Amino acid sequence: MSRKLWFTVAAMLVAATLYRNRLRAYLEQAFANVRAFDLPSAGAYDALVAAVLEGFYARVAREVAVAYPGGKLLEVGSGPGRLAVRLAQEAPGVTLTGVDISDAMVERAARRAAGAGLSERVRFEVGDVAVLPLSDGEFDGVVSTLSLHHWSDPARGLAEIHRVLKPGGEARIYDLAHWLWLSARGGNRLFQLTAASPFGEGEVQIFRWPGSVPAFVLLRLRRAREARS
């Protein structure tokens, strides 16, 4: 084999190795982003991740609308407002407040609600689940999707959700299944969090989406009704 041919083959092998390594790094980062639901901007999240999950939000909105056709609801970790808008459309009797730690997400969500003509019933504000800027016993129900695994202090977050719920109100917290989020493994970690919270107990259900894929869990928590004197 000529020297020129050897050089060409060697160059092709080096290029293939570099491309493979770069592709592997890209795919690993993309997979990490999907697992963490974390992209560099609110616009990128909305366009790429949230758009992929449109069917997931539609299903959650239908379930929550059946449970709460009316009343006052809180969404924790409302992101770009996709679920809030769908839920308000599914349940015309609902008023909804969305709280998110990101100013950019809140701004984007407010624009989405305004574009859908829902500003009178749907509002958003910046806030941390660990210190919710809301009154005690203000909400009939709470919903959260794909936010729990981001909370720096989940126990504190659950205590705050308990505080803002009315007696008898329910929180429905949807998050990643154990094979995507190890803290949810077997539901044990979630049960431990619940037991240590003011709720005292709760129910962990497998949430299958897309199709029959068990990619999510649903943590259902209810604030006890006040005992009558």
On the question of pLDDT at 19 being above 90, the answer is: no
| Beta bridge pairs of residue 176 | 216
Amino acid 194: pLDDT: 92
Which residues in 35-185 belong to E strands, given as ranges?
70-76, 93-100, 122-126, 139-145, 165-176
* Contact (Cβ atoms closer than 8 angstroms) between residue 133 and residue 125: yes
Q: For residue 164, what are the contacts with CB-CB under 8 A and spacing of at least 6?
A: 74, 132, 134, 135, 136, 137, 138, 139, 142
How far, in Å, are 69, 80, 104 from residue 101 at the CA level?
Answer: 27, 12, 9
Amino acid 215: pLDDT: 87
Amino acid 5: pLDDT: 53
Amino acid 127: pLDDT: 97
How far, in Å, are 31, 57, 155, 158, 204 from residue 197 at the CA level?
Answer: 32, 27, 6, 6, 15
Mean pLDDT of 138-160: 95
Amino acid 191: pLDDT: 86
Q: What b-and-e string marks burial along 188-212, b requiring 16 or more CB atoms within 10 Å of the CB? A: ebbeebbeebbbeebebeebebeee
Residue 133: CA atoms inside 13 Å, Cβ hemisphere, count? 10
Give the DSSP H/E element, type plus range, for residue 18: helix 3-36
Q: What is the pLDDT of residues 158-212, one digit of tens each?
A: 999 999 999 999 999 999 887 766 655 555 788 888 999 999 999 999 999 888 8
pTM, whole model, 2 decimals? 0.80
Q: What rounded mean pLDDT belongs to the chain?
A: 84
Where does the pLDDT of residue 36 fall: very low under 50, low under 70, confident under 90, or very high at 90 and above? Answer: very low
Maximum Cα interatomic distance, the chain, rounded to a whole number of Å: 97
Tokens of 66: 């059946």
Other residues' Cβ atoms within 10 Å of the Cβ of residue 150:
15
Choice between 184 and 213, residue whose per-residue pLDDT is larger: 213
Q: Name the residue ranges covered by the structural domains of the chain.
A: 3-36, 49-222
Of 127, 132, 149, the residue nearest 193 (C-alpha): 149
Query: The domain 49-222: what is its CATH number?
Result: 3.40.50.150
Q: What is the pLDDT of residues 65-97, one digit of tens each?
A: 999 999 999 999 999 999 999 999 999 999 999
Where does the pLDDT of residue 51 fall: very low under 50, low under 70, confident under 90, or very high at 90 and above? Answer: confident
Mean pLDDT of 41-52: 78
Lowest mean pLDDT across 40-44, 59-63, 101-105, 152-156: 40-44
Give me the residue label for tokens 């209810």.
Answer: 222
Amino acid 50: pLDDT: 72
Query: What percent of the chain clears pLDDT 70, i.e. is strictly above it?
Result: 78
Tokens of 109: 């969500």
Of 32, 83, 53, 106, the residue nearest 213 (C-alpha): 53
